[in-house]
Amino acid sequence: MSLIERLNEDMKQAMKDKDKVKLSVIRMVRSAVKNAEIEARKELSEDEVLAVLNRELKQRRDSLQEFEKAGREDLVEKVKEEIDILVKYLPEQLSEEELRRLVEQTITEIGASSKAEMGKVMGALMPKVKGRADGKLVNQIVQQLLQ
């Protein structure tokens, strides 16, 4: 079952269950996918839909940080719930240990030895972890290992 089909099925189920939060999150994601399709003037591939999902998740995580700084507990809970729903549609995330091994392997393949070569490492690494790791975490690990 494709991601779009799964979103559609889950939306129908959320309507039946009267789960307003899940329904609104799925509708937001479907809307973002539809906007991306209109912008691209084609139907999105599974990877492109995954990229839209990741973008939505990143927005929620950024909002979560801002709400926590501002002390808005009411919004923090709401955004955490939305994040939990979005995460269910992503592939299983890599653990930090697995990610660190993958970064070390990529650094060895490229032969990178300094922070100046971080762009090369990130360029080779991101397609390998696409959708399975947070870009910010990948960036931090690459920086640590290139020091």
**For the chain, how many residues are written?**
147
**126 vs 139: CA distance, rounded Å:** 10
pTM confidence score: 0.74
**39 vs 46: CA distance, rounded Å:** 16
Task: Give me the residue spans of the domains in the chain.
Answer: 3-87, 96-145
Per residue in 45-67, pLDDT (tens digit) is 888 898 899 899 989 999 999 99
Kindly report the CATH class assigned to 3-87: mainly alpha
Is the CATH number 3.40.50.300 carried by domain 96-145?
Answer: no
Contact 8, 33 (CB under 8 A): no
- SS3 of residue 42 by DSSP: coil
**22 vs 6: CA distance, rounded Å:** 13
pLDDT at 82: 93
Per residue in 105-147, pLDDT (tens digit) is 888 888 878 888 888 888 888 888 877 887 888 888 888 888 8
pLDDT at 25: 95
- SS3 of residue 81 by DSSP: helix
Per residue in 63-110, pLDDT (tens digit) is 999 999 999 998 999 999 999 999 999 888 888 888 889 888 888 888
Residue among 48, 9, 10, 26 at smallest CA distance from 130: 48
pLDDT at 108: 87
Q: Where are the beta strands (DSSP E) in the chain?
A: none
